[in-house]
A = this chain, B = another copy of it.
Amino acid sequence: MRIGELSRRTGVAIPTIKYYVREGLLPPGELTSPNQASYDESHERRLRLVRALIDVGGLSVQAVGEVLGAVDNPAQPLHEVLGAATKRMMPRYGDAEDPELAAAREEVAALIERRGWRVPPDSPAARALAGALAAMERVGHGDFAEEVLDQYAQAAEQVAVADLAYVGRNASREDLLEMVVIGTVLGEAVLAATRRMAHQNASARVYGDRPPGAGDA
């Protein structure tokens, strides 16, 4: 298909498609004449993936390039691809050393130990967790880790098992890498949205439609 058709199918503007090709996010089309390139379904699929990572995942064009570079490199082990995506997507809480961060690191190490997780304590996800727990401590909610963290971990395990089962049912070797990226980024958006909906539901049950503190009708 021509670039106009690719644009129509995906809803991505032609100049944007050309920009992605220049930045290496999308392979160039096959030249059919000096001024004309032809694109196929693999371009369409890749373009949709790029848009999902940018629009839903909030990744920068540069970050998408790094993640796709990892996906496209068959020599790169799966966990490194995941690592590349994770590094890009993880909240970057300042690494300023303070007592809260040191304490949070110990909490994370204890969590890993307690649950028997095969996760290096210095992996991006573990460091991001320590950063988030340290931020909670700094705003006066250090007891969160003690009271709630294991229930988060249990929910995360449940989700991870469902994810892996889904991947196992659906994945060829090439699909597998792509799905890790999609699952990491889009799955997170799904989980964040369902958690908010569950909050909204719980809150509606507790407070009804009354403002808090308004008293009973």
Contacts and interface: CB of A to CB of B under 8 A. Distances in A.
Interface of A: 11, 45, 48-49, 51-52, 55-58, 75-79, 82, 86, 89-94, 96, 98, 112, 115, 117-119, 123-126, 128-129, 131-133, 135-136, 138-141, 143-144, 147-149, 151-166, 169-170, 173, 176-179, 182-184, 186-207, 210-213
Nearest to A146: B166
A124 B158 CA distance: 25
Contact of A90 (B156, B196, B207): B196
A7 to B, nearest CB: 13
A200 B82 contact: yes
A48 B134 CA distance: 11
Given A49-B139, A98-B11, A197 B56 contact: no
A157 B198 contact: yes
A129 to B, nearest CB: 4
B57 A193 contact: no
Contacts of A212: 77-78, 173, 176-177
Contacts of A82: 196, 199-200, 203
Nearest to A210: B77
Given A148-B166, A157-B198, 16 more contacts: A11-B98, A56-B93, A56-B131, A56-B132, A77-B207, A82-B196, A82-B203, A89-B192, A117-B197, A119-B201, A125-B194, A129-B190, A129-B197, A149-B194, A163-B202, A187-B195
